[in-house]
Amino acid sequence: MLSLVKCSGSLASRQVDADNLLGLAAAGVAAGLINAVAGGGSLISFPALIATGIPIIMANITSSLALLPGYLAATYAQRKEIASLGPRVLWLLPAAAAGGLIGAFLLTNSSEEVFAGLVPWLILLGSLLLAIQDQLRQRLLSSAAAQPMASVNLLAVAAVLIATVYGGYFGAGLGVILLAVLGVTLHGTLTQLNGLKQAIAFVAKSAAALVFLWSGEVDWGAAVLMAFGSLVGGFLGGKLVGKVNPRILRTVVILSGIALGLYYLFS
């Protein structure tokens, strides 16, 4: 944790050096590809930004903005599944926006020391959520696939609000959390719930971006570079999704996340 604080304290106005550009572009491509195939891309982009010396809160905010186009692309790709749920799901989107705003506000008003202390645990949590993703999908598939989508209830709205607060604050593994929340509080096919998850995540991240844009904590050079890389990676991931074993890729991300979380925890 001390190493995270040290690399954050004196670099608040830092811009990415030319020597780091290739690495950040590669990290953006990797994050976009991983998000498209297996999920967990922020566990690549966030540490890559920290490794260049960008302050830790700035790195988290920059990573969130850089990966936002990927959420838009995923939502557009599953627009038919989202539309099949009807207008009742619109009740969940204001909750997602509110959660994203609250999480972003908490992040931008956190001290570097507090956030640095939480980061190892947040990375380990994100890794754990990725590890249980397949089991969660199978459970939802077996329990909810044949049931009609129920009317949105207050429990679903409250659960989405809480989940998206985390999404605005950090967000690694947000998709897994949302899928679990929706599976518990609503009924629908796994395809429908997955599409709804994408829409909620996009709204939450977009709302958080409204706070981040005015925070003064964005490294725009890195953000634009990573956003372009994530779009390229997302396109490649879409092409490779049937050729790459997502479990193998996810396992690599999980093990890397655990190692990184432990390193930050004990360094």
C-alpha 144: how far from chain center: 25
User: Which amino acid, one-letter code, is at 80?
Assistant: K
- In a structure prediction context, what are the per-residue pLDDT tens digits for the chain, which is 267 residues long? 545 655 544 444 444 566 678 889 899 888 888 777 766 788 889 999 998 889 999 999 999 999 888 788 878 877 888 888 777 678 899 999 999 999 999 999 999 889 989 988 988 887 887 787 777 666 665 655 444 444 557 888 998 999 999 999 998 778 778 877 887 777 667 677 778 888 898 999 999 999 999 999 999 989 999 999 888 887 777 677 567 676 776 787 788 888 888 888 887
CA terminus-to-terminus distance, the chain? 6
| DSSP state at residue 84 | T
Q: What residue ranges do the domains of the chain occupy?
A: 18-266
Contacts of 266 (CB under 8 A, 6+ apart): none
Radius of gyration of the chain (CA): 18
Per-residue 3-state assignment (H helix, E strand, C coil) for 228-251? HHHHHHHHHHHHHCCCCCHHHHHH
Supply the pTM of this predicted model. Answer: 0.79
